[in-house]
Structure 1
């Protein structure tokens, strides 16, 4: 029997966060009033809202002209997005949990979303994600490729180059990698003034330093998981 609090490789289990979806939604409406005049707003609900909660939030935020409302309901349930679409004109983004063009069939064909959020590394590489985005382009749906730091600089560069090839490019998510990652992956792309530039090296412009990588043995890590206030496990 594994000791309490231990996980794979005896690493600590992920931390738990307690939250109630409705309360952050109310706070978001207040925050939107204060910052919308200065910045475009994007909000990620991490699939936590019910269809009615998402529809209410999307409608309430319409005066603040969100760039998008992301993952407002579980992505696998197109019926939920149909209900949200019926009640709000706030743009919807979804897809970072999807892996193939088939996941998008109904969502794109019925124009239930406005932005495709898949990552190159999770969706069959450049060729397959390009297939998804070319399908989406027929319905005036744009790209918004996933780009967190748990995707390597190789995946980030691949997304950037794919975005440059699309006429339905929308926006590229970008989170700067840390100094340790940058010491292993030599990158030609740069970020300045809100813009990414691919650089002028051949290919994707990223080189792996295998010797440097050898200095960092694998360490088990987890994303946090969420519980409602009553302790129920909920979408992260």
Structure 2
């Protein structure tokens, strides 16, 4: 709450007003804290403030919205239109962060973006490496198809992953291109996948000062 605004102040002073700045709150703040935090970041003109508080309670975002003009993005943990429809209809967010792999594929997410379009709410689809190259390619094709595209989160998959999922997509100078291969432009190689047996993995535990397990 105290430190992050000073970070944005320093970055703005160093790089000026044109650099897009984003911040992810990982749902950690209470609605009151989130509203105060969003308001404190207004002078730095964020591109978006992501997951500043829990989105499952729709009234949380209403409270934040009433206090601040900082753009709000949410949705990466949502898996149903019912999780986000009221946030769109009540214009409580600016960017939809849902992912094709969590949300049921291209069709339901395209319907959500059609619902968002009259409200000038844009896309900002979730694109970490736990979204496979197939899921990411689906998002990229959807980005190109919709009129209310905003931004696309992108993280590079590992060399091993890209051996298994051969993609025609390219990334250059901050821009993504889906390539010219048919379909989604991704070819899955199961015979290569067999070289990499599944290893169970978990997100890290995050603990408070007293040792209590807390949302990471």
TM-score (norm 2): 0.95
The Cα of 1:233 is off from its aligned counterpart by: 2.1
Contact between 2:95 and 2:121, CA under 8 Å: does it hold in 1?
A: yes
Shift of 1:183: 1.2
SS for the counterpart of 1:144 is strand
> What's 2:7 paired with?
31
1:223-234 to 2 correspondence within 5 Å?
223-234=203-214
Separation in structure 1 between the aligned mates of residue 36 and residue 169 of structure 2, nearest angstrom: 40
Give the distance between the partners of 2:133 and 2:11, measured in 1 at CA.
31
- Tell me whether 1:167 sits opposite 2:143 in the alignment: no
For 1:95, the equivalent position in structure 2 comes to 75
CA RMSD in angstroms comes to 1.0
Say whether the 8 Å CA contact 1:154–1:204 is kept in structure 2. yes
Question: Does structure 2 conserve the Cα–Cα contact (< 8 Å) formed by 1:100 and 1:132?
Answer: no
Compute the TM-score of the two structures, normalised by the length of structure 1: 0.87
Give the distance between the partners of 2:135 and 2:2, measured in 1 at CA: 35
Paired position in structure 2 for 1:42? 22
- Contact 1:148 / 1:175 at 8 angstroms: preserved in 2? yes
Instruction: Say if 2:60 is the partner of 1:64.
Output: no
Gaps of 5+ in 1: 1-24
1:121 correspondence with 2:101: yes
- 1:131 matched residue in structure 2: 111
Highest RCO, 1 vs 2 (Cα 8 Å, sep ≥ 6) = 1
Question: Equivalents in 2 of 1:187, 1:170: separation in Å?
Answer: 23
Q: Which residue of 1 aligns with 2:86?
A: 106
CA distance in 2, matches of 1:79, 1:199: 42
Task: Give the match for residue 32 of structure 2.
Answer: 52
Residue-pair matches, total: 212
Q: Which runs of 5+ in 2 are unaligned?
A: none
- Per the TM alignment, residue 124 of structure 1 is displaced from its structure 2 partner at its CA by 1.1
* Contact 2:22-2:47 within 8 A present in 1 as well: yes
CA shift digits 1:141-164 (9 cap, x unpaired): 110000000111001100000010
- Tell me if 1:220 matches 2:200: yes
User: Counterpart in 1 of 2:126?
Assistant: 146
Alignment partner of 1:138: what SS?
helix
